[in-house]
Amino acid sequence: MASRKEGSGTAGSGFGAAKGKGKAAATGDSAVKQVQIDGLVVLKIIKHYQEEGQGNEVVQGVLLGLVVDDRLEITNCFPFPQHTEDDADFDEVQYQMEMMRSLRHVNIDHLHVGWYQSTYYGSFVTRALLDSQFSYQHAIEESVVLIYDPIKTAQGSLSLKAYRLTPKLMEVCKEKDFSPEALKKANIAYENMFEEVPIVIKNSYLINVMLWELEKKSGVADRHELLSLASSNHLGKSLQLLMDRVDEMSQDIVKYNTYLRNVSKQQQQKHQYQQRRQQENMQRQSRGEAPLPEEDINKLFKPPQPPPRMESLLIAGQINTYCQNIKEFNAQNLGKLFMAQALQDYSN
């Protein structure tokens, strides 16, 4: 199951394992080309965050639905309840099983098709999310993770994106080898770790009629509030988080440079040891003595362990996400500025 915190826990309760591995495992292509979400699911996710999400608190839940060809239809969801880590009596797996059993009894779609979580200024590219999505996708090939950004949504446009792990990253996660050599062999960079799946939100005709009625009742002044440019705090926070990630990347670069220096120093020590060994054998041979026995030089000089590469890739991916957020923020504010100027000219 998905972890309650971004920084801890694992996922993968194995629900839906009877569905087996999809056709994507054989072809190497993604098993899902499009995600179709009912409007009620979107409202449930938003309501979940409004009721339980406070500040940077992450809320998570389970997605239910079905797979039609290469389209994943998400028709229902339910949240993970809030509980503390000290609550040893709560069993998340049992809770999910009971919820899905109850939904099946009332003839509601109960197949497990993924999970969702909120994000704080786009800070979702973490190791916890990677492990959780791998567990889901390994058990249910078509699984996705929905990322809901409440801060972007509050700016006037719904921010809901679906992600999956790429086939290359799935293979590396199965092997559990995140060394620089393995990642280089698999040709994995932060650009091809996650793949975004297009989302289509579908409403019934009755819901569309209700939204149309609400739109007619809403005042013009309420819509004008969306043109406000008073969002410097959003930009400042995004830039601060971006600088924090850049600092982390700088620390990883220092660790990698230290590793390279240690490797170079060890190579010099090996070369000097071999030279001394060769000279000593030549002296022993001149005295008619037997040469020294050969030794495994790799046992004498154990190579230093390279720093983990996966964390650096995740940090690079998070930096890219922050840059995209800032770019979208600036474009959105520019559009608001033009719209506000157009309304002012029209009023005059």
Asked whether residue 175 carries a pLDDT value surpassing 70, the answer given is yes
Asked whether residue 9 carries a pLDDT value surpassing 70, the answer given is no
Q: Which amino acid is at 53?
A: G
* 290-318 tens-digit pLDDT: 887 777 777 777 888 888 788 888 888 88
Q: Domain residue spans in the chain?
A: 34-82+91-217, 247-285+300-347
- The pair phi, psi for residue 35, each rounded to 5°, is -115, 120
Torsion of CA 301, 264, 256, 298, to 10 degrees: -20
Instruction: For residue 22, name the pLDDT band (cuts at 50, 70, 90).
Output: very low
Q: In what order do the strands lie in the sheet with 144-148?
A: 194-197, 160-165, 144-148, 111-118, 60-68, 71-79, 34-38, 199-202
| pLDDT value at residue 4 | 42
**Using an 8 Å Cβ cutoff, are 252 and 315 in contact?**
yes
Looking only at the bridges linking them, the beta strands covering 71-79 and 34-38 are parallel
Asked whether residue 133 carries a pLDDT value surpassing 70, the answer given is yes
* 54-69 tens-digit pLDDT: 777 889 999 999 888 8
Q: Which two tokens stand for residue 329?
A: 């923020």
| pLDDT value at residue 11 | 44
Asked whether residue 13 carries a pLDDT value surpassing 60, the answer given is no
Max mean pLDDT among 68-72, 84-88, 299-303, 328-332 falls in: 68-72
Max mean pLDDT among 21-25, 292-296, 317-321 falls in: 317-321
| pLDDT value at residue 331 | 67
Q: Name the burial class of residue 229, with classes exposed (0-12), middle (13-18) and buried (19+) by CB atoms within 10 angstroms of its CB.
A: exposed
Asked whether residue 6 carries a pLDDT value surpassing 60, the answer given is no
| Cα 129 to Cα 116: distance, rounded to the nearest angstrom | 10
Domain 34-82+91-217 has CATH 3.40.140.10: yes
| Cα 262 to Cα 240: distance, rounded to the nearest angstrom | 33
| pLDDT value at residue 181 | 82
Q: Pick the range with the lowest mean pLDDT from 168-182, 221-235, 249-263.
A: 221-235
| Average of per-residue pLDDT across 264-279 | 85
Instruction: For residue 199, name the pLDDT band (cuts at 50, 70, 90).
Output: very high
- Which residue would you say has higher pLDDT here, 28 or 263? 263
| pLDDT value at residue 164 | 93
